[in-house]
Amino acid sequence: MPKELWKGNEAIAEAAVRAGLEAYFGYPITPQTEVLEYLSRRMPELGRAFVQAESELGAINMVYGAACTGVRVMSSSSSPGVSLMMEGISYIAGTEVPAVLVNVMRGGPGLGNIAPAQADYNQAVHGGGHGDYQAIVLAPASVQEAIDLTVLSFDLAEKYRSICMVILDGCVGQMMEPAEMPEMKPVHRENWDWNTDAKMGKRERRILSSIYLDPVEEEKMNLRLLNRWRTIEANEVRYKEYFLDDAEIVIIGFGTAGRVALSAVREARAQGIKVGLLRPITVSPFPHKVIDQLAGRVDAFLVTEMNSGQMLEDVRLAVKGRVPVEFYGRMGGVVPFPDEILNEIHRMAKVKLSADVHPRDAWLERMAHV
């Protein structure tokens, strides 16, 4: 297919359609509304289900119901809206049905603003809903990646009967880039052994629920989820490397923070500083192993995020104190410029770094001018 200029949000919507999306339920919120708007036109055109629900709570429970029937189903929202969906997300996890959820993150907490942010990392990666569950979380940094990862999210969700979240910030949602759409895939319903359908009396009854009143049974379910997660961790980690071969300093950043860092890395390289970039594509499962390996041969890490250092803690777990891990973040909807990250690279290349101070505390002191 030839490349077309696609807006991130609309690209996600069309990619979902081409991946066989049969039902979409959502509620408008900036900077995500174009997903809903696009599908409100596109889905009925194809005879598929589109509902603008009365609320996010309504939307996620419609997703839950549709997921139980085994069709490809999706919702999308932005930070405050995703918070409202958390109860439903936990129920979907507890029922072990596949669903795709897109979060085009904005500044927070609370109502915040509509500018790009990455402050829902912890909510997406480390829970959000109650109970022991983990979601697969993909973090595109470009429109093409948003398309590819949306398609992938349906496959992963089904393969592991899991929630698959695509988290991006308002930048990726609102920007236009040349991108290639996949071929239209015909709607295809797998012959699952778990979904509810209209075959009453023709086979043994199937029950889908997140209720396990017997704690021993619930624990068995928890173990099943955990073992499944180990398989996901072993098979589904994805990331992109830039200039890592001879890197002495490695920047780690996802989504827009990652691509802004790429500009800084190129500039630093042009100045002769050996710096590279690791951009996680799956932030859950997290690329622990590659960071663990890098920690054995590089001098220092710099984590850049559009939040207060949420992924930073996961990087620190992987580095295990072997080399300094520094942090640079912007919050509240502020997108860093490359020169800010370049300044950090210059600082790291010049001064002796200490592992005694927590990187967030040191960064806070450097942020005193804001």
Give the nearer residue to other proteins in terms of CB position, either 175 or 244. 175
Q: How many residues bind other proteins (CB under 8 A)?
A: 26
260 binds other proteins (CB under 8 A): yes
Of 17, 19, 26, 31, which one interacts with other proteins (CB under 8 A)?
31
Which residues lie closer than 8 Å to 140 by C-beta, 6 or more apart? 146, 148, 149, 166, 168, 172, 255, 281
Give the nearer residue to other proteins in terms of CB position, either 115 or 232. 115
Of 101, 164, 167, 262, which one interacts with other proteins (CB under 8 A)?
262
41 binds other proteins (CB under 8 A): no
39 binds other proteins (CB under 8 A): no
Q: Candidates 181-189, 230-238, 315-323, 330-338: pick the segment binding other proteins (CB under 8 A).
A: 330-338
3-state secondary structure 177-194: EEECCCCCCCCCCCCCCC
114 binds other proteins (CB under 8 A): yes
Q: How far is the CB of 162 from other proteins (least distance, A)?
A: 30
Tokens of 107: 């500044």
316 binds other proteins (CB under 8 A): no
Of 51, 137, 171, 295, which one interacts with other proteins (CB under 8 A)?
171
Q: How far is the CB of 79 from other proteins (least distance, A)?
A: 15
Of 44, 46, 130, 178, which one interacts with other proteins (CB under 8 A)?
178
Q: How far is the CB of 76 from other proteins (least distance, A)?
A: 16
Q: Candidates 36-44, 166-174, 190-198, 214-222: pick the segment binding other proteins (CB under 8 A).
A: 166-174
339 binds other proteins (CB under 8 A): yes
Sign, CA dihedral 184-31-152-129, equals negative
Q: How far is the CB of 241 from other proteins (least distance, A)?
A: 13
Distance, C-alpha 140 to centroid of its chain: 7
Q: Candidates 61-69, 253-261, 290-298, 310-318: pick the segment binding other proteins (CB under 8 A).
A: 253-261
Q: Candidates 64-72, 117-125, 264-272, 283-291: pick the segment binding other proteins (CB under 8 A).
A: 264-272
Contact (CB, 8 A) for 104 and 76? yes
Contact (CB, 8 A) for 112 and 80? yes
Q: How far is the CB of 366 from other proteins (least distance, A)?
A: 18
* Rounded Cα gap, residues 175 and 335, in angstroms: 14
Which residues lie closer than 8 Å to 185 by C-beta, 6 or more apart? 18, 19, 20
Contact (CB, 8 A) for 220 and 227? no
* Rounded Cα gap, residues 262 and 266, in angstroms: 6
Taking residue 185's Cβ as centre, other Cβ atoms within 10 Å add up to 14
Q: How many CA atoms lie within 13 A of 56 on its CB side?
A: 20
DSSP 250: E
Reduced to 3 states (helix: H, G, I; strand: E, B; else coil), residue 368 is: helix
Q: How far is the CB of 80 from other proteins (least distance, A)?
A: 15
**Residues forming the site for other proteins (CB under 8 A):** 3, 5, 30-31, 114-115, 170-171, 174-178, 256, 259-266, 335, 337-339
